């Protein structure tokens, strides 16, 4: 077995709840490393029917001596549901899980969000470990403790802040990740740069080809840079009282697109890509940024193979109605993440719906 020490370890600093994010190849097999984060005798491994056949065995070998069971979701965003949290909680009950039990999330962001929320609910909160297996979950969803599920009314409307005990990002798992999913993960990497790191954005422009080819040195650097950036934001504003909302760049539009498409048309990362571009266009319309910034963002998204147009069939009025349910809004006003150019995102309250609608109408 090829076990390596992590290429990168990034600490999310939250006092007693601080935790490491290990990034490297072969980490799933480094049982001693992640097993040390398990405290009790019970573990529920939440995964899905695509990922489990590929990687569950490697986890199982590290769970010797524990009472544990797998809980497998069907694949897809539609299964990040309240009903499945109920079933996962029943699985913990069947296991006889006590308060020192641990939930292990093995999969992408859908599995991670649902597993984390399950852990947050069982006996009012037990440990969980993130083992992200998609690029998106490595660079974003496994870090920061946002957990939850969707409702038919909208994305992530139910959830809790609940931090993992450790994040085990074995980049070897990306070898089996389909190209479209890999590109979707890149959207959340680009987002981090677009929000707050112009130098990283320029680096991504220069390394777009190497990243598209999954060249490992560039890939580890991209993952680590994004995780380091997010870990810093989370450490300063864990529960999104201020700065953390910036991590939502593109998401008010993106979540509306995902929901309107019933989670089957656009992947989350694709929705974020299109959403960032719409946010950039709105910023331009409000004279906050220049067309050249928008073009630069569009070029990088296109170079990565991400969509930058709204697929046909969307209704601007319906999208606006969905945007009104976004968690950042306060009574009666839209609160959006806009920007003043690459690396300079801003929270803007009281955005005029007429401007949003105009941008949506131009896009569909
Ligand atoms: N909590 C957060 O902070 C946060 C941040 C970003 C996104 N999210 C959420 O994450 C979700 C999107 O996550 P995602 O993009 O990972 O999607 P996903 O979990 O649906 O995984 C994408 C696809 O890849 C498959 N897959 C996963 N790992 C694989 C592997 N190694 N090899 C082959 N196939 C593999 C999955 O089965 C699935 O079909 C959305 O629900 C989004 O809202 C949450
Ligand atoms: O960690 C955060 O904070 C983010 O906003 C990261 C986003 O990429 C992620 O999609 C998150 O789940 C969106 O959060 P929400 O609060 O808008 O549901
Ligand atoms: Zn996201």
Residue 313 exposed, middle or buried by CB count within 10 Å (0-12, 13-18, 19+): exposed
Please compute the mean of the pLDDT values over residues 44-55 and round it to a whole number. Answer: 98
**pLDDT in the model for residue 330:** 87
| 352 marked among binding-site residues | no
Average pLDDT rounded to a whole number, residues 124-151 = 98
Residue to mutate (ligand 1; options 47, 176, 181, 262; most atoms within 8 A of CB)? 181
**From the CB of 133, is ligand 1 less than 6 Å away?**
yes
Residue 3 lies in a domain: no
What's the average model confidence in pLDDT over 196-210? Answer: 98
- The answer, yes or no, to whether any atom of ligand 1 lies below 6 A from the CB of 109, is yes
The SS3 of residue 207 is coil
In a domain, 69, yes or no: yes
Query: How far, in Å, is the centroid of ligand 3 from the Cα of 268?
Result: 7
Predicted pLDDT of residue 2? 54
Residue 225 lies in a domain: yes
Do 73 and 193 lie in one domain? The reply is no
Average pLDDT value for the chain: 96
CA distance 91 to 88: 5
pLDDT exceeds cutoff 80 at 3: no
Residues 38, 185, single domain; the answer is no
pLDDT grade for 253, boundaries at 50, 70 and 90: very high
Whether residue 206 sits in one domain with residue 152: no
pLDDT confidence tier of residue 331, bands split at 50, 70 and 90: confident
Phi, psi of 338 (to 5 degrees): -115, -175
Rounded Cα gap, residues 275 and 253, in angstroms: 5
Identify the bridge partners of residue 349 per DSSP, sorted by sequence position. Answer: 335
134 known member of a binding site: yes
Reduce the DSSP state of residue 12 to 3 states and report it: strand
For residue 1, is pLDDT > 70?
Answer: no
Q: Which residues constitute the domain of residue 352? A: 179-363
Task: Give the number of domains in the chain.
Answer: 2
Residues contacting 354, CB < 8 A, separation 6+: none
Any idea what the Cα angle at residue 137 is, between residues 165 and 107, rounded to 5°?
Answer: 80
The CATH number for 311's domain is 1.20.1090.10
User: Which residue's alpha carbon is at the smallest distance from atom 13 of ligand 2?
Assistant: 248
Give the residue-averaged pLDDT of 138-162. 96
Is 110 assigned a ligand-binding role in the annotation?
A: yes
The CATH number of whichever domain residue 78 belongs to comes to: 3.40.50.1970
Average pLDDT of the segment spanning 208-237 = 97
Same domain, 152 and 280: no
Please report the ipTM that was assigned to this predicted complex. 0.99
Residue 9 and residue 268: Cα distance in Å, rounded?
26
Measure the CA–CA gap between 330 and 334, rounded to whole angstroms. 7
Catalytic residue among 25, 162, 165, 244: 244
Is 42 catalytic? The answer is no
Q: Is 162 annotated as a binding residue?
A: no
Tell me, yes or no, whether 214 and 350 share the same domain. Answer: yes
Q: Is the pLDDT of residue 137 over 70?
A: yes
Q: Where are the beta strands (DSSP E) in the chain?
A: 8-12, 19-24, 42-48, 67-73, 102-107, 127-132, 146-151, 154-161, 166-170, 334-339, 345-351
Which pLDDT band, with edges at 50, 70 and 90, does 13 fall under?
Answer: very high
Residue 87 has pLDDT above 90, yes or no: yes
- What is the mean predicted confidence (pLDDT) over 69-86? 97
Residue 4: the pLDDT is: 62
Q: Is residue 2 part of a domain?
A: no
- Segment 354-358 shows an average pLDDT of 98
> Which is the closest atom of ligand 1 to the Cα of 188?
6
The per-residue pLDDT for 19 is: 98
29 close to ligand 2 (CB < 6 Angstrom): no
322-329, long-range: CB < 8 A, 24+ apart:
322/154, 322/255, 322/256, 322/259, 322/260, 323/252, 323/253, 323/256, 323/356, 325/153, 325/154, 325/157, 326/154, 326/251, 326/252, 326/255, 326/256, 327/156, 327/157, 328/245, 328/248, 328/252
**What does the radius of gyration of the chain's CA atoms come to, in whole angstroms?**
20
> Position of tokens 């998401």?
251
Is the same domain home to 197 and 106? no
């Amino acid at each position: 077995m090829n076990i390596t020490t992590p290429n990168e370890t990034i600490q999310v600093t939250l006092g007693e709840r601080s935790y490491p994010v290990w990034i490297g190849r072969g980490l799933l097999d480094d049982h001693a490393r992640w097993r040390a984060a398990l405290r009790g005798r019970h573990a529920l491994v939440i995964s899905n029917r695509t990922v489990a056949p590929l990687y569950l065995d490697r986890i199982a070998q590290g769970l010797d001596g524990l009472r544990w069971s797998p809980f497998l979701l069907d694949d897809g965003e539609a299964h990040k549901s309240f009903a499945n949290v109920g079933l996962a909680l029943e699985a913990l009950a069947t296991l006889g899980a006590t308060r020192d039990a641990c939930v292990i999330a093995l999969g992408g962001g859908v599995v991670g969000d649902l597993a984390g929320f399950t852990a947050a609910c069982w006996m009012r909160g037990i440990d969980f470990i993130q083992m992200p297996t998609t690029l998106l979950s490595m660079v974003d969803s496994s870090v920061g403790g946002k957990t939850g599920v969707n409702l038919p009314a909208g994305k992530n409307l139910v959830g809790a802040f609940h931090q993992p005990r450790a994040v085990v990002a074995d980049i070897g798992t990306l070898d089996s990740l389909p190209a479209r999913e890999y590109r979707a993960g890149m959207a959340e990497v680009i987002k981090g740069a677009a929000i707050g790191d112009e130098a990283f954005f320029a680096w991504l422009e220069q390394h777009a080809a190497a990243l598209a080819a999954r060249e490992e040195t560039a890939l580890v650097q991209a993952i680590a840079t994004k995780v380091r950036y997010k870990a810093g934001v989370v450490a300063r504003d864990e529960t999104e009282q201020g700065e953390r909302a910036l991590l939502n760049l593109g998401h008010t539009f993106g979540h509306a697109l995902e929901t309107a498409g019933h989670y089957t048309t656009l992947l989350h990362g694709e929705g974020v890509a299109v959403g960032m571009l719409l946010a950039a266009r709105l910023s331009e319309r409000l004279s906050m940024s220049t067309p050249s910034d928008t073009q630069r963002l569009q070029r990088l998204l296109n170079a990565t193979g991400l969509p930058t147009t709204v697929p046909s069939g969307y209704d601007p009025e319906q999208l606006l109605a969905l945007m009104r349910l976004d968690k950042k809004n306060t009574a009666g006003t839209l609160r959006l993440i806009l920007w003043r150019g690459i690396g300079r995102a801003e929270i803007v309250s009281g955005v005029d719906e007429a401007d949003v609608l105009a941008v949506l109408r131009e896009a569909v």
